[in-house]
């Protein structure tokens, strides 16, 4: 059994007491501020704790006097092995909620300072620790023996039956029928990453006389360090480099999701670890490109949820690869079943939060939805509502993490809207207020001297869209909106958005920013939000471009939208040939719908295009007319005359100038002649 020990008191006393307790544990890791602990050998700042993932430790000290980073606490708690200790150093627990936590710097949003944050998250945490059986607390002033902790018992890690079954199933994906993906889900400590690594080693050893290449992707390299460590132990003759094990003809290589999209790297099998932290549109692209693929993800993780992944991605798997398989690893390897530290961490950080059961929404009708705001104080006092609300957010959003719980309770600019059905949480919207800068701050922002944290929309509009007046406008940015899966497509999200916009006080514009996907864009456009900026680079972990959309509330908001929108529509077609030349057509086609080209081609242009379609004129001779036709077709909706493959070829060649050979390879066409014939056929259909 693993142990959880709280050492509560002044910072100096807690650190001295922890050092005494760890006298016989030289391998302990200290999570905190290096400047405070010069005498210790292994000190990791909380914001770098991810480097510990995939490793195992007998003892970890988490110094909350340096700030309680909820993500770091969740991450390191899963690295402690059986019979190990987690020591949490805190102020006296009854004083902790009033402690000015250094981690508040991540929550403070101008003009609010750390002393104005009420500490609701710490209040909930300290109360839970005080009232959970099995939590040992050593408080300053209490009479406790100063003996060190018992020496760690030996911990022998062996493969479980379900881990071996997972290894066999992964190997079968590589050798069995194509297009039969495997989905592996498990809580932390069940050995799923190890199973991927061991299976990879088996496959590479099996193909020692062949060329064989395995690609691994995950949100970050640190997430697969355990995979590479286990594989490397079985591949002693392989050379090793950061993110790669290889010989002349065989390799196991890590490629980040965004790079995997760009490189179109070939692989005999693709292993996707921590898939819940990668957006479904990107996963769908990988599923289409790789015929042998394994998805693995954590069920209750600090960076995503396997349950949400399964619900969101199941329909995609059913549609594209109906013979996919699923298996779950349930037996812990690193600690005992029903481990109390695991359960406490799950409860304290709501990593196991679940929404209401589906049958709670039987016979639901939209007119029965009750929409109301809830304050953070009320949410703190209502644990059931908090768990259902957060469980719904976890289910709906791929990157919901413990820090989001802290921000939900303590963020000074947060507004929460709930939709209830018969008392159960049916939907939730979380928004933040932004903007409203005074003249002095506006000047500092525009001169590049300040970038106030937490004001995404006004600063994006001012600095990237040439709209400096946005800095003094008041925005309500919707960070999260989630509807229970049992009642989606019933107009619930629309009802929440209307209520949010109609009841917002002193707001010029409601806005949202998200990783652009065709389904999300359709949802926001349906609710009268209009795009004003698409980020020029993809987020490394998601592979998506961030899209900012606005809905005006006041006349000031309408003027801002008109100006920002006009500039976006002027720029966007040009950016497709430059910074956005790798953007997918399913993203840029909807964004082109409002470009300012109001009519189809002239009679002269149509004549030239007809001659191109009949192979009487070359591509270069009619290129201006082809651009005109492409923009008109996307705006008018006539692009639907083309099938998916023709759309991809036509618009990517004309608007993004994608080279012919690249198109031929990507779309599996024979070569230049077939590309040319397909373009001619597409033009004929559009005319």
DSSP assignment string, 246-283: E-SSEEEEE--HHHHHHH----SEEEE-SGGGS-HHHH
In terms of Cβ atoms closer than 10 Å to its own Cβ (0-12, 13-18, 19+), residue 505 is: exposed
How confident is the model at residue 149, as a pLDDT?
A: 75
- Contact partners, residue 393, CB within 8 Å, separation at least 6: 400, 404, 428, 430, 480, 482
Residue labelled with tokens 């199973």? 195
pLDDT at 35 over 70: no
134 and 189 inside one domain? no
Which CATH number does the domain housing residue 25 bear?
3.40.50.11040
47 and 129 inside one domain? yes
How confident is the model at residue 158, as a pLDDT?
A: 58
Residues in the chain: 687
- Cα–Cα dist 107/429, whole Å: 19
pLDDT at 604 over 90: no
Which CATH number does the domain housing residue 217 bear?
3.40.50.300
Taking residues 347-370, report their average pLDDT: 92
Where helices occur in 176-256 by DSSP H, the ranges are 192-206, 225-233
pLDDT at 155 over 60: no
What token pair was written down for 409? 């309770």
Structural domain contains residue 562: yes
319 and 426 inside one domain? no
What token pair was written down for 299? 């069920």
307 and 399 inside one domain? no
> Taking the mean position of all CA atoms in its chain, how far away is CA 416?
21
For 61, the enclosing helix (H) or strand (E) is: strand 57-63
Q: Which long-range contacts (CB under 8 A, 24 or more apart) does 439-442 make?
A: 441/110, 441/471, 442/468, 442/471, 442/472
* Cis peptide, bond prior to residue 111, ω within 30 of zero: yes
- 369 HSE (CA, 13 A, CB side): 24
Buried b (16+ CB within 10 A) or exposed e, 654-664: bbbebebeebb
- Cα–Cα dist 194/231, whole Å: 8
621 and 552 inside one domain? no
How confident is the model at residue 55, as a pLDDT?
A: 75
Query: Positive or negative CA dihedral for 467, 469, 471, 477?
Result: negative
Count structural domains, the chain.
4
Last residue of a domain, one of 548, 571, 594: 571
What token pair was written down for 424? 């159960």
283 and 173 inside one domain? yes
pLDDT at 595 over 70: no
Structural domain contains residue 156: no
Structural domain contains residue 580: no
Last residue of a domain, one of 139, 173, 196: 139
135 and 165 inside one domain? no
How confident is the model at residue 597, as a pLDDT?
A: 47
Tell me the CA distances in angstroms from 329 to 42, 159, 160, 506, one per residue in order: 32, 11, 9, 51
Q: Percentage of residues in the chain with pLDDT exceeding 90?
A: 50
Structural domain contains residue 582: no
Contact indicator for 292, 270 with CB cutoff of 8 Å: yes
Structural domain contains residue 350: no
226 and 312 inside one domain? yes
How confident is the model at residue 109, as a pLDDT?
A: 92
- Cα–Cα dist 59/28, whole Å: 5
- Cα–Cα dist 197/200, whole Å: 5
pLDDT at 302 over 60: no
- Contact partners, residue 281, CB within 8 Å, separation at least 6: 515, 517, 518, 544
pLDDT at 687 over 90: no
3-state SS record for 96-110: HHHCCCHHHHHCCCC
Contact indicator for 495, 481 with CB cutoff of 8 Å: no
Structural domain contains residue 506: yes
pLDDT at 86 over 80: yes
Structural domain contains residue 597: no
Structural domain contains residue 341: no
Among residues 467, 457, 452, which one has the least CA distance to residue 431? 457
463 and 557 inside one domain? yes
What token pair was written down for 421? 């059905």
pLDDT at 304 over 80: no
* CA angle at 522 for the pair 517 and 525, rounded to the nearest 5°: 120
The per-residue pLDDT for range 57-80, each reduced to its tens digit, is 889 999 999 999 999 999 889 888
- Domain with 321, as residue range(s), is 161-329
- Contact partners, residue 525, CB within 8 Å, separation at least 6: 549, 590
The per-residue pLDDT for range 416-459, each reduced to its tens digit, is 999 999 999 999 999 999 999 999 999 999 999 999 999 999 99
Among residues 45, 30, 158, 150, which one has the least CA distance to residue 103? 45
Among residues 499, 502, 500, 509, which one has the least CA distance to residue 472? 509
Taking residues 395-403, report their average pLDDT: 82
Is residue 598 very low, low, confident or very high in pLDDT (cuts 50, 70, 90)? very low
How confident is the model at residue 210, as a pLDDT?
A: 87
415 and 550 inside one domain? yes
Report DSSP state, residue 489: T
What token pair was written down for 306? 């396997």
Residue labelled with tokens 């008392």? 423
The per-residue pLDDT for range 486-528, each reduced to its tens digit, is 999 899 999 999 999 888 889 999 999 988 888 889 999 999 9
Query: Positive or negative CA dihedral for 564, 570, 573, 578?
Result: negative
For residues 462 and 634, the model is more confident at: 462
Taking residues 249-277, report their average pLDDT: 88
How confident is the model at residue 644, as a pLDDT?
A: 86
- Cα–Cα dist 93/91, whole Å: 6
What token pair was written down for 667? 């779309």
- Cα–Cα dist 402/350, whole Å: 7
pLDDT at 264 over 60: yes
- Cα–Cα dist 594/601, whole Å: 17
pTM of the model: 0.83
118 and 214 inside one domain? no
560 and 611 inside one domain? no
Is residue 603 very low, low, confident or very high in pLDDT (cuts 50, 70, 90)? confident
């Amino acid at each position: 059994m693993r142990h959880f020990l709280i050492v509560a008191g002044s910072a100096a006393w807690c650190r001295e007491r922890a050092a005494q307790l760890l006298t016989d544990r030289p391998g302990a890791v200290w999570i905190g501020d290096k400047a405070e602990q010069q005498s210790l050998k292994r000190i990791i700042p909380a914001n770098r704790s991810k480097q510990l993932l995939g490793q195992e430790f007998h003892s970890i000290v988490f110094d909350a006097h340096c700030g309680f980073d909820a993500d770091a606490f969740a991450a390191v708690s899963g690295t402690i092995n059986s019979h190990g200790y987690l020591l949490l150093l805190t102020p006296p627990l009854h004083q902790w909620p009033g402690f000015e936590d250094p981690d508040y710097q991540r929550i403070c949003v101008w003009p609010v300072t750390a002393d104005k944050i009420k500490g609701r998250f710490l209040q909930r945490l300290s109360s839970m620790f005080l009232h959970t059986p099995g939590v040992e607390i050593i408080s300053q002033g209490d009479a406790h023996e100063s003996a060190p902790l018992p020496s760690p018992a030996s911990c022998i890690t062996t493969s479980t039956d379900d881990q071996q079954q997972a290894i066999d199933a992964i190997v079968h994906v590589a050798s069995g029928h194509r297009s039969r993906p495997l989905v592996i889900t498990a809580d932390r400590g069940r050995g799923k990453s190890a199973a991927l690594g061991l299976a990879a080693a088996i496959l590479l050893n099996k193909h020692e006389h062949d060329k064989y290449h395995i690609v691994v992707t995950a949100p970050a390299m640190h997430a697969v360090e355990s995979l590479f460590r286990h594989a490397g132990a079985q591949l002693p003759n392989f050379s090793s480099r950061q993110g790669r094990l290889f010989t002349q003809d065989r390799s196991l290589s890590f490629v980040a999701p965004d790079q995997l999209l760009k490189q179109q790297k070939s692989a005999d099998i693709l292993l996707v670890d921590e898939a819940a932290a990668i957006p479904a549109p990107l996963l769908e692209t990988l599923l289409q490109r790789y015929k042998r693929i394994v998805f693995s993800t954590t069920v209750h993780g600090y960076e995503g949820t396997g349950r949400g992944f399964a619900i969101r991605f199941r329909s995609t798997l059913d549609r594209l690869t109906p013979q996919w398989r699923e298996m779950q690893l349930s037996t812990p390897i690193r600690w005992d079943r029903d481990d109390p530290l695991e359960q406490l961490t799950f409860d304290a950080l709501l990593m196991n939060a679940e929404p209401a059961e589906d049958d709670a929404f039987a016979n639901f009708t939209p007119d029965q939805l009750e929409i109301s705001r809830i304050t953070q104080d009320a949410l703190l006092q209502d644990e059931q509502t908090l768990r259902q609300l957060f469980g719904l957010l976890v289910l709906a959003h791929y990157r919901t993490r413990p820090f989001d719980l802290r921000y939900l309770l303590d963020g000074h600019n947060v507004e929460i809207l709930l939709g209830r059905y018969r008392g159960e949480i049916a939907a939730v919207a979380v928004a933040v207020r932004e903007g409203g800068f005074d003249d002095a701050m506006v000047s500092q922002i525009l001169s590049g001297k300040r970038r106030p944290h937490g004001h995404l929309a006004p600063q994006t509009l001012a600095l990237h869209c040439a709209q400096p007046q946005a800095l003094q406008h008041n925005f309500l940015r919707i960070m999260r909106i989630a509807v229970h899966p049992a009642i989606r497509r019933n107009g619930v999200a629309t009802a929440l958005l209307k209520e949010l916009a109609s009841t917002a006080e002193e707001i010029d514009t409601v806005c949202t920013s998200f990783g652009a996907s065709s389904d999300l864009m359709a949802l926001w456009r349906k609710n009268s939000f209009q795009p004003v900026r698409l980020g020029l680079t993809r987020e490394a972990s998601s592979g998506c471009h961030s899209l900012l959309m606005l809905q005006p509330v006041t006349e000031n908001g309408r003027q801002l939208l008109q100006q920002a929108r006009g500039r976006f529509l002027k720029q966007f077609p040009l950016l497709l040939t430059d910074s956005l030349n790798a953007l997918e057509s399913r993203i840029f086609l909807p964004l082109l719908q409002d470009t300012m080209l109001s009519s189809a081609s002239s009679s002269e242009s149509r004549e030239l295009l007809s001659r191109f379609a009949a192979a009487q004129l070359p591509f270069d001779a009619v290129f201006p007319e082809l651009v005109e036709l492409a923009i008109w077709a996307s705006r008018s909706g006539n692009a639907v005359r083309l099938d998916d493959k023709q759309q991809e070829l036509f618009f990517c060649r004309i608007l993004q100038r994608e080279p012919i050979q690249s198109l031929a390879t990507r779309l599996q066409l024979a070569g230049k002649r077939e590309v040319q014939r397909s373009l001619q056929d597409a033009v004929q259909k559009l005319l």
